[in-house]
Amino acid sequence: MPSFVINEKCDGCKAQDRTACQYICPNDLMVLDRETNKAFNRAVDMCWECYSCVKICPTQAIEIRGYADFMPLGGVVQPLRSSDSIMWAVRFRNKVVKRFKFPIRTKPEGSIDPDAGFTTGTEDLKSPVLRTEPDSL
């Protein structure tokens, strides 16, 4: 289910150079229309459905909608983040709304040691080739 921007809620991240959704999208799909100051997903069929943009949007302006072929008539999913939890609101097409709340990590941003004191013992992760290369080329 790809992401869609709700125009009425999007404030263009207050006209900053780069919006939060542009910053976070790993597939470079979010675009800001400078005339309307609204963002949009320029290729929903290319969306990885990672929901990073949905979760980072400061105004909850992005929701997840199903493709019309298997989810007609509009059900949507939308998160609401707080400092210690994330609440997912699922709105069914018959207007029933269900909410699911999950705890999120509480460590301060940037405080996690990625290696956690362990070494990999190899430089493979820094190699530009894939595992089977060059033999598979």
Query: Is there binding between residue 76 and ligand SF4 (CB under 6 A)?
Result: no
Q: Please identify, among the stretches 22-30, 68-76, 109-117, 129-137, the one whose residues bind ligand SF4 according to the rule CB under 6 A.
A: 22-30
First to last CA, the chain: 35
Site string for ligand SF4, 32-71 (x = CB under 6 A): x------x-x-----xxxxxxx---xxx-xx---------
Q: How many CB atoms lie within 10 A of CB 49?
A: 11
From the CB of 16, what's the least distance to ligand SF4, in Å?
8
Please state the length of the chain. Answer: 137
Six-digit token string for 48 = 């990885």
Supply the minimum distance, in Å, between the C-beta of residue 133 and ligand SF4: 27
**What's the CA gap between 4 and 30, in Å, rounded?**
10
* Active-site residue, from 18, 48, 87, 104: 48
Residue in 78, 106, 80 with CA at minimum distance from that of residue 92: 78
Has 88 been annotated as catalytic? no
Applying CB under 6 A, among 7, 18, 27, 71 the residue interacting with ligand SF4 is: 27
Dihedral sign of CA atoms 41, 42, 48, 53 in order: negative
Total residues binding ligand SF4 (CB under 6 A)? 31
| Beta carbons within 8 Å of 133's beta carbon, 6+ residues apart | none
Instruction: Using CB under 6 A, list all residues that contact ligand SF4.
Output: 2-3, 5, 10-13, 19-21, 24-27, 29-30, 32, 39, 41, 47-53, 57-59, 61-62
Give catalytic residues, as residue numbers: 48
